[in-house]
């Protein structure tokens, strides 16, 4: 980290400390994006993990808690290893798009839980 001996506009140190502080604060502000832009921005694997792990899924008056073991991307798909703790526990590998967010992933998981025999996006179930 560099130390600055002069303030903004070549003024002596201390003469424009407030300007330097304001400049530093503004430079650290995250950009604001719209909800539409956020929907198009894929979550990182870490953010998706955090968004899904511990979530509660309810289907037909039955409840499961989602536990994420791992998330990886391969061959144009995102794969999630999950356990679902509930009355009927499951361990499954779910296939999604790399662009799928937490809401879309939970909807896909809920659809599968509504009809577990439908395994189009579920690679394995134990």
pLDDT digits (tens, 9 = 90+) for 38-82: 555 678 889 999 999 999 999 999 999 999 999 999 989 999 999
Whether the full predicted model's pTM is greater than 0.75, yes or no, is: no
* pLDDT higher than 80, residue 120: no
Rounded CA gap, 53 and 10, in Å?
A: 51
Domain membership of residue 33 (yes or no) is no
Tens of pLDDT along 86-102?
Answer: 999 999 899 888 999 99
pLDDT score for 28: 45
Domain membership of residue 71 (yes or no) is yes
Domain membership of residue 85 (yes or no) is yes
Domain membership of residue 3 (yes or no) is no
By residue range, what is the domain housing residue 57?
42-125
Please give the C-alpha separations between residue 77 and each of 7, 22, 63, 98, in angstroms, as whole numbers: 50, 43, 27, 6
Domain membership of residue 35 (yes or no) is no
In DSSP terms, which residues pair with 85 in a beta bridge? 65
Count of domains in the chain? 1
Band (3; pLDDT cuts 50, 70, 90): very low
Q: Which two tokens mark 113?
A: 């839980």
Domain membership of residue 64 (yes or no) is yes
The dihedral region occupied by 121, where left means phi > 0, alpha psi between -120 and 50, and beta the remainder, is: alpha
Domain membership of residue 28 (yes or no) is no
Rounded CA gap, 10 and 56, in Å?
A: 57
């Amino acid at each position: 980290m560099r130390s600055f001996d002069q303030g903004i506009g070549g003024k002596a140190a201390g003469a424009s400390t407030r300007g330097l502080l304001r400049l530093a604060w503004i430079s650290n502000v995250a950009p604001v994006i719209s909800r539409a832009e956020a929907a198009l921005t894929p979550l990182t694997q870490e953010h998706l993990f955090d968004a899904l792990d511990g979530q509660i899924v309810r289907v037909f008056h039955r409840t499961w808690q989602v536990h994420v073991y791992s998330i990886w991307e391969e061959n144009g798909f995102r794969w999630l290893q999950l356990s679902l703790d509930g009355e009927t526990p499951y361990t499954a590998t779910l296939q999604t798009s790399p662009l799928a967010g937490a809401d879309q992933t939970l909807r896909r998981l809920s659809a599968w839980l509504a009809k577990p025999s439908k395994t189009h996006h579920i690679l394995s179930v134990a």
